[in-house]
């Protein structure tokens, strides 16, 4: 049995033991997300536009992650709409910044891995790097949107008549609780992945200026910053969507009552 | 916590002066962006600003796998901005492809690092790379500015904790370099304890809640590594390709474990903080809850957040391999080989972290049910 299979089986068993049906669903979502990610790469290899593929796959990943984990209807719907909006905002930012920084493709540090590979493959790597940056933030967007929507829907359950203005303050308060720990998840997640690269920089004695302008380094740091920004944007956007949803609901409720 | 509440209140007072804060952040942003645009004097390597470009005609290139690309040569005229050669005019050539994986097109106004050659009194240079500090600083400013404006004091704390961890991380890398990478697992293993303690102290202060969260974080992460090592032993690491790891300059196996350890630490900490603070809130509202009920609630809370958290790490670990995997596919490799050589290590990392995240749920619930104080003060 291969290592991946056994580790996967252990994860499945543990998730079912701890979370029951919800755990099994989350595991399935994880596998489907992997399938979607791989599909995105294959589609781009077939010369579909990287940006459009990423947007479609991104929305599907958000839907899968959010609707397949246990949450009530209101908070899942709000989380999905909010995370899709954050995704669009993020694309609007990532596209110009990546064109500005020009960190596409590979750097001199990659030359050993690139040996024997043709790099003139006729696919625009600026767009591929944009796609990579967007995909790497998807998990964080979904998680943050769900946490804030769930927190707000709990507040609504306890105080159903809370004023909309107060609800906005509550959203920021929930955001304050989650942002510190979410930033740490992102920081350690990314830095765990870049450990080898940073060791390389110190081992080869890059100067501070060289690191600060290095293609790979800037690309990786930009990815962390995009993720942090997406989590940050999720706080006000999710809260805003929740207040809209509640306002709409109350209006309909008032309508029914007058009838 | 009392001290903290006062500070928060102080920040609350400043709410009336919000537009000042916005103005200040905007101003700082303008200063750093413009500043880095004109900071060439700070660099030792010569920097050239392109003042004119002549384009040649594009030529069509076809590789062994029928990939079609276009290469274009360009001649760049520019002026050196800093150092010994400051003010010197020079001309360099550059070739870029339409795909731009290893090269790029330069335009008028681009600032480039060049390597200068002095040959028989004649001055010439070759292009090394583009100057990228301005977009980098712009993005850092955007994130920090929004963090402070939206979340104010909590934003500041989040920023401080990331900055402090960054410094610790940097010191650990220097230490690793000083020991030639022989102790990488021990360095980053013991450092994880420092990371976790520091972060939780910044978020929770020195409280019992912090201790329970710390114990869960370390326990969950350690357990996942133990499970991973056992599985490695049982399966003889079949299907793991250490040679596919990028930028490796030392023994890959301990490095891989150190990477995994760090990667999962943040997520396990995130989760433990969520579960245990929710259980504290629950106990505050309903002090009559028995340890058994607390354990059950903890499991309930944990099982809803574990899936999305594993997803966060999965996308961080695996999305990064997109460009290289794409290149493999375009070079006529099969899907299976592309997966093995690019994504298998990221998937193993995600799975190990996932195991840690799931194991932390019962651990947090158990520890909270045992150690939660009888009376939780508001």
Mean pLDDT per block of 10 residues along chain A (259 residues) reads 95 95 92 96 96 96 89 88 97 95 92 90 95 95 93 87 86 86 91 89 89 94 95 94 90 78
Q: What's the pTM value of the predicted model, to 2 decimals? A: 0.93
The confidence score (pLDDT) of residue B8 equals: 42
The confidence score (pLDDT) of residue B323 equals: 94
The confidence score (pLDDT) of residue B378 equals: 53
- Which residues on chain A are in Cβ contact (under 8 Å) with B36? none
| B240: confidence class by pLDDT, cuts 50, 70, 90 | very high
Chain A CA closest to residue B302: A19
The confidence score (pLDDT) of residue A178 equals: 86
| B16: confidence class by pLDDT, cuts 50, 70, 90 | low
8 Å CB contact of B97 and A120: yes
- The shortest C-alpha distance from B219 to chain A (Å) reads 16
pLDDT digits (tens, 9 = 90+) for B124-183: 888 999 999 999 999 999 999 999 888 888 888 888 889 999 999 999 999 998 888 788
- The shortest C-alpha distance from A257 to chain B (Å) reads 34
Question: Kindly report the CA angle at A122 between A119 and A128, in degrees rounded to 5?
Answer: 80
Cα–Cα distance measured from residue B378 to residue B362, given in angstroms and rounded to the nearest whole number: 25
How many domains, in total, are found in chain A? 1
Q: Which of A13, A41, A157, A231 to mutate to test the interface with B (most CBs of B within 10 A)?
A: A41
Q: Give domain status of residue A8, yes or no.
A: no
Q: Is B101 exposed, middle or buried (0-12, 13-18, 19+ CB in 10 A)?
A: buried
Q: Kindly report which listed range (A24-38, B109-123, B201-215, B288-302) carries the lowest average pLDDT score.
A: B109-123
- The shortest C-alpha distance from B323 to chain A (Å) reads 6
Q: Are B210 and B197 in contact (CB under 8 A)?
A: no
pLDDT digits (tens, 9 = 90+) for B47-83: 999 999 999 999 999 988 999 999 999 999 999 999 8
Question: Above 90 in pLDDT, residue B18?
Answer: no
Q: Give domain status of residue A11, yes or no.
A: no
Cα–Cα distance measured from residue A83 to residue A78, given in angstroms and rounded to the nearest whole number: 8
* Structural domain of A239: 33-258
DSSP 8-state code for residue B339: I
The confidence score (pLDDT) of residue A160 equals: 84
Q: Give domain status of residue A13, yes or no.
A: no
- A31 in B contact zone (CB under 8 Å): no
Give the pLDDT mean for B234-240. 93
Q: Give domain status of residue A5, yes or no.
A: no
Gyration radius from chain B CA atoms: 27
Chain A CA closest to residue B360: A18
Question: Above 70 in pLDDT, residue B1?
Answer: no
The confidence score (pLDDT) of residue B377 equals: 62
Cα dist from B347 to A3, A141, A217, B343, B352, whole Å = 10, 20, 23, 6, 9
Question: Above 90 in pLDDT, residue B297?
Answer: yes
8 Å CB contact of B234 and A6: yes
Provide the mean pLDDT of chain A.
92
* Helix-then-strand count for chain B, H and E: 10, 6
Question: Above 60 in pLDDT, residue B3?
Answer: no
CB-closest option in B203, B302, B327 to A121: B327
Cα–Cα distance measured from residue B154 to residue B134, given in angstroms and rounded to the nearest whole number: 27
Question: Above 60 in pLDDT, residue B302?
Answer: yes
- The shortest C-alpha distance from B80 to chain A (Å) reads 17
Cα–Cα distance measured from residue A47 to residue A45, given in angstroms and rounded to the nearest whole number: 5
- The shortest C-alpha distance from B123 to chain A (Å) reads 23
Q: Give domain status of residue A10, yes or no.
A: no
Q: Which of A36, A128, A181 to mutate to test the interface with B (most CBs of B within 10 A)?
A: A181
Cα–Cα distance measured from residue B210 to residue B269, given in angstroms and rounded to the nearest whole number: 11
- Which residues on chain A are in Cβ contact (under 8 Å) with B295? none
Q: Which two tokens stand for residue B344?
A: 């298998």
Q: Give domain status of residue A81, yes or no.
A: yes
- A13 in B contact zone (CB under 8 Å): no
Provide the mean pLDDT of chain B.
89
Q: Are B307 and A29 in contact (CB under 8 A)?
A: yes
Q: Decide which of B230 and B250 is more confident.
A: B230
Q: Report the length, in residues, of chain B.
A: 378
- Which residues on chain A are in Cβ contact (under 8 Å) with B266? 184-189, 192
Cα–Cα distance measured from residue A180 to residue B333, given in angstroms and rounded to the nearest whole number: 42
The confidence score (pLDDT) of residue A259 equals: 64
8 Å CB contact of B322 and A184: no
The confidence score (pLDDT) of residue A87 equals: 97
The confidence score (pLDDT) of residue A194 equals: 86
Cα–Cα distance measured from residue B114 to residue B77, given in angstroms and rounded to the nearest whole number: 12
8 Å CB contact of B330 and A118: yes
The confidence score (pLDDT) of residue B314 equals: 95
**Inter-chain Cβ pairs, chain A and chain B, closer than 8 A:** 405
Q: Give domain status of residue A60, yes or no.
A: yes
Which residue is listed with tokens 């800037």? A218
The confidence score (pLDDT) of residue B157 equals: 86
């Amino acid at each position: 049995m291969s290592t991946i299979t056994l580790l996967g089986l252990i994860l499945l068993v543990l998730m079912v033991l701890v979370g029951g049906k919800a755990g099994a669903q989350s595991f399935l979502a994880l596998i489907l997300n992997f399938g979607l990610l791989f599909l995105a790469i294959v589609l781009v290899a077939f010369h579909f536009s990287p940006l459009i593929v990423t947007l479609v796959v991104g929305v599907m990943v958000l839907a899968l992650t959010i609707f397949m984990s246990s949450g009530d209807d209101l908070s899942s719907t709000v989380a999905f709409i909010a995370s899709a909006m954050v995704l669009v905002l993020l694309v609007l930012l990532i596209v110009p910044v990546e064109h500005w920084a020009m960190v596409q493709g590979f750097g001199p540090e990659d030359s050993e891995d690139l040996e024997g590979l043709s790099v003139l493959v006729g696919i625009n790597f600026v767009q591929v790097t944009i796609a990579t940056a967007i995909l790497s933030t998807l998990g964080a967007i979904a998680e943050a949107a769900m946490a804030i929507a769930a927190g707000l829907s709990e507040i609504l359950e306890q105080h159903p008549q809370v004023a909309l203005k107060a609800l906005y303050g509550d959203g920021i308060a929930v955001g304050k609780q989650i942002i510190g720990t979410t930033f740490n998840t992102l920081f350690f997640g990314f830095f765990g992945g870049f450990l080898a690269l940073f060791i390389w920089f110190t081992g080869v004695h890059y100067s501070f200026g060289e690191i600060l302008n290095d293609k790979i380094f800037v690309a990786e740091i930009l990815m962390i910053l995009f993720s942090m920004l997406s989590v940050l944007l999720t706080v006000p956007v999710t809260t805003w969507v929740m207040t809209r949803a509640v306002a709409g609901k109350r209006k309909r409720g008032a309508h029914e009552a007058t009838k | 916590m009392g001290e903290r509440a006062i500070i928060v209140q102080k920040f609350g007072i400043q709410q009336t002066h919000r537009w000042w804060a916005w103005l200040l952040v905007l101003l700082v942003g303008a200063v750093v962006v413009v500043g880095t645009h004109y900071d060439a004097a700070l660099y030792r390597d010569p920097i050239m600003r392109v003042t004119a470009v002549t384009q040649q005609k594009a030529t069509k290139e076809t590789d062994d796998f029928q990939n079609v690309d276009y290469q274009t040569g360009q001649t760049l005229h520019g002026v050196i901005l800093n150092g010994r050669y400051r003010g010197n005019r020079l001309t360099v050539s550059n070739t870029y492809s339409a795909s731009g994986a290893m090269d790029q097109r330069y335009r008028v106004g681009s600032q480039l690092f060049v390597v200068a050659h002095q040959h028989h009194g004649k001055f010439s240079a070759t292009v090394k790379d583009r100057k990228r500090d301005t977009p980098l600083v712009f993005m850092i400013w955007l994130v920090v500015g929004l963090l402070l404006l939206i979340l104010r004091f909590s934003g500041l704390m989040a920023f401080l904790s990331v900055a402090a961890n960054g410094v610790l991380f940097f010191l650990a890398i220097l230490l690793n370099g000083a020991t030639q990478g022989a102790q990488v697992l021990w360095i980053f293993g013991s450092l994880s304890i420092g990371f976790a303690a520091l972060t939780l102290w910044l978020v929770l202060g020195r409280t019992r809640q912090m201790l329970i969260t710390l114990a869960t974080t370390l326990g969950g992460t350690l357990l996942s590594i133990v499970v991973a090592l056992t599985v490695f032993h049982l399966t003889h690491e079949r299907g793991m390709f250490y040679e596919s790891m990028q930028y490796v300059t030392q023994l890959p196996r301990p490095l891989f474990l150190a990477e995994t350890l760090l990667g999962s630490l943040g997520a396990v900490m995130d989760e433990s903080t969520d579960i245990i603070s929710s259980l504290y809130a629950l106990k505050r509202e309903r002090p009559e809850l028995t340890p058994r009920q607390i354990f059950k609630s903890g499991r309930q809370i944990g099982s809803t957040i574990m899936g999305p958290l594993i997803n966060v790490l999965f996308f961080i670990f695996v999305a990064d391999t997109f460009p290289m995997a794409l290149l493999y596919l375009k070079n006529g490799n099969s899907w299976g080989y592309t997966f093995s050589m690019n994504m298998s290590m990221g998937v193993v990392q995600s799975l190990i972290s996932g195991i840690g995240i799931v194991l932390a749920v019962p651990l947090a619930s158990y520890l909270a049910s045992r150690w939660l104080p009888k009376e939780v003060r508001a």
